[in-house]
Structure formats: structure tokens, C-alpha cells
């Protein structure tokens, strides 16, 4: 019985079969899987999780993209002004 486990369909964690029914009832009631990072998060904290974890990453990515766009425009301007 020591190695008898089942995977929870909600949080995707491996749970001992002896505790599976109790785990699944709790998990389905209180937890959801984040669609972006697939982390198990309490339902009541999902908005907070997405703001803290994912908005900061998006802002960082957007900053990186803006510097690439600026560099690309400069290269295009340089190639246009030097072409005869």
C-alpha cells in the first residue's frame, strides 16, 4: 500500500490513495490551477496570484520588447539614410 498513489485531476499532484477522496474533495472546493503557470492556487487568491506573479512578468517582457523595437527602428533609419 505504500506505493499506491493517484493523480488528482484538479491540481495534478500525486496523492496517496488512502487520502485521495479527502484530498480531491478539498482540492475541488478550494483550489484551482492557474492557466498561465499551472500552479495550484487557492480560489480566493487567484486574482492576487495573477497580479503579483504574472503582471510583473508581463511588464518586464514589455520593457524588453520596447527596447528591441527602438533598436530595430534605429537600424532601419540608419540603413535608409545610408542607402543611395
Give CA–CA dist 52/56, Å, rounded. Answer: 6
Give CA–CA dist 41/55, Å, rounded. Answer: 16
What is the per-residue pLDDT across 75-84, written as a single tens digit (0 to 9) for each? Answer: 566 655 555 5
Give CA–CA dist 84/39, Å, rounded. Answer: 56
* Domain range summary for the chain, segments of one domain joined by +: 5-82
pTM of the model: 0.55
What is the per-residue pLDDT across 17-66, written as a single tens digit (0 to 9) for each? Answer: 999 999 999 999 999 999 988 899 999 999 999 988 888 666 666 555 55
Amino acid at each position: 500500500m505504500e506505493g499506491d498513489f493517484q493523480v488528482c485531476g484538479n491540481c495534478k499532484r500525486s496523492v496517496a490513495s488512502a487520502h485521495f477522496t479527502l484530498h480531491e474533495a478539498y482540492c475541488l472546493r478550494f483550489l484551482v490551477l492557474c492557466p498561465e503557470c499551472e500552479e495550484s492556487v487557492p480560489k480566493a487568491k487567484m486574482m492576487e496570484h495573477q497580479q503579483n506573479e504574472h503582471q510583473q512578468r508581463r511588464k518586464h517582457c514589455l520593457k524588453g520588447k520596447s527596447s528591441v523595437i527602438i533598436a530595430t527602428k534605429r537600424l532601419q533609419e540608419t540603413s535608409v539614410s545610408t542607402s543611395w
